[in-house]
Amino acid sequence: MAKLAINGGPAEAAELSAMLPPWPHATEKDRRALLEVLDSGQWCRVGAGKGGWSRVDAFDGEFAKFQDAKHGVSVANGTVALELALRAMGIGSGDEVIVPALTFIASATCATEVGAVPILVDCDHDTGTVSASSIEEAITERTRAVVLPAYHGYPPDFDAILPIARKNNLKVLEDAATGVGTEWKGRRIGAMGDMGTFSFQQAKLITSGEGGIVLTNDDKLAETARLIQNIGRVHGPLVNDFLITSSNYRMTEFQGALLLSMLEDLPPQLELKRRNGEYLADQVEKIDGIKTQKRDPRVKFSRYKFIMRYDQTAFGGITKERFIEALRAEGVGVDERAAKLIYRQTAFATGALGTTLPKGLKLPDYAGMFLPNSEALLKEEIMLGHTYMAVDKSGLDMIVASIEKIKTNVDELKVAPSIKR
C-alpha cells in the first residue's frame, strides 16, 4: 500500500494550506486609511504639499526611523528606487557596478538604466549573499559602485564588504527589497552603506501593491534623491522651478496611507515569522540532507523566504525536482518561481541590454559566464514563501513530517509516477 501522497497515500500536510494566512491582507484600519485619502481630494503628494498633510511624507520619516536611517524618499516601486539611488550617487555612463549574479534582475538593470555596466560576481554558498572576495577580485579602474542585495531577507557580510568599498572609493547601494526588519549587529539594514532601497510590491513583507523607498544617512544624498524623485523640483510648496532635469518617481498618497497603516502592525508579524523560521530551521536541519541558510550571531533576519538546501545523495539520488513533486503532493507548496542567474537572462545572454548604454562600449561575455557557488546553490535551494512562517507550530511540524516521510520512503518515490503541472 502506498505511503507517499504522490503514489496515492494520505497527504502528511493536507491541512496546511488552510492554515496559511491570505496575502496581502487588508485590515479595517487599512481600509479606513485609504478612504480618508479618497475623501480628502489630495491623492497626489504634490497636492498634499499645498498645505494638507502628506501621508507619503509621514511614511518617509516613519519607515526611515523603523530601519534606523535618517532620511527616506518614497517612490513608485522598488525598481526605480534602485535607479534613483544610483543617479543620486553620481553613477552613470560607462561606469562599472558590481552586482551578484544570483539576485533579482532589477539589481543589475538599475545599472544599465543609468548607462553603467553590471559586473556580475559570485555568492557565498552558505548564505546566498554576494561574496566579499568576489567583489574585491572584480574591481577595476572603472568600478564606481557595488550593489548588495539582501538574499531573501538575509544581509551580506558588511564587516567584510564595507572596508573593501571604502578602500577602493566605491559607493555602496543596499538592495534591501526583501530585508524589512533585518538587523546586522543590532542595527537594521538599509543605510549601512551610502544608500539603500526597499520594495513594497505585493509579495513583500509590507506592501502597497507597488511602491519603494530610498534610505540614507547622508543629508546631501537625501536632498539630491528628493530632487530626482520630484522631476527636479524642490520638495515643498508647489512651484514651477526645476533645478535639474529628471523624471517623476513619486509615490501616491494612497500608497503612503496604506503603508503607514501597515507599518503600525508590522513588528509583531516580523517577530512571529522570524521566530517560526528559527524553529523550522532547527527541526529540518535534524534531517540528513537538508540544510538552511547559515545562522550568524551578527544577523537577525526577516524570513521573506525560508530557504532549504537539498542534498540528493542523502535522499538516494532523487533529484531536487522529484523531491519537490513529492513535497507538493504531501501538501507543502514550494515556491514555484525558479530563480535564474542574471547572466542566463535573455537580455544579458543575448546582449539585448537596451539603448541606455554608451554605443561601442565593450561588455562582459555574460553568456560565457559560470560562477560556481551561484550555480551550485541554484541546484540545491528550495524555498517556501513567508506566509508559511505565519502558521502555528503544528503547521511547521507538518512541513518537517512531510520531509521525513519522503526520506523514509525514498525507495517508493523512485518508482512514483511524475505529476504533471
Q: Does the predicted TM-score (pTM) go above 0.85? A: yes
Identity at 386, one-letter amino acid code? H
pLDDT digits (tens, 9 = 90+) for 349-376: 887 887 778 888 889 999 999 999 999 9
Model confidence at 81: pLDDT above 70: yes
pLDDT value, residue 375: 97
Give the CB-side neighbour count of residue 223, counting CA atoms within 13 A.
4
Q: Was domain 28-263 assigned CATH 3.40.640.10?
A: yes
Model confidence at 260: pLDDT above 90: yes
**261-290 mean pLDDT:** 97
Continuous H helices in 149-230 = 158-167, 219-229
Q: What are phi and psi of 244, to 5 degrees?
A: -140, 165
pLDDT value, residue 47: 61
Higher per-residue pLDDT: 255 or 245: 255
Share of the chain above pLDDT 90, in %: 87
Distance of CA 219 to the CA centre of its chain: 26
pLDDT value, residue 205: 97
Largest CA distance in the chain: 78
Q: Which three cell numbers stand for residue 56?
A: 507619503
Q: How far is CA 240 from CA 122, 170, 228, in A?
A: 46, 35, 15
User: Considering only CA atoms, which of 284, 228, 189 is closest in space to residue 92?
Assistant: 228
**113-139 mean pLDDT:** 97
Q: What are phi and psi of 20, to 5 degrees?
A: -70, 130
**226-251 mean pLDDT:** 86
SS3 of 38-85: HHHCCCEHHHHCCCCCCHHHHHHHHHHHHCCCCEEEEECCHHHHHHHH
pLDDT value, residue 421: 43
Report the sign of the C-alpha dihedral through residues 107, 148, 300, 64, in that order. negative
What is the domain partition of the chain in residue ranges? 28-263
**141-152 mean pLDDT:** 97
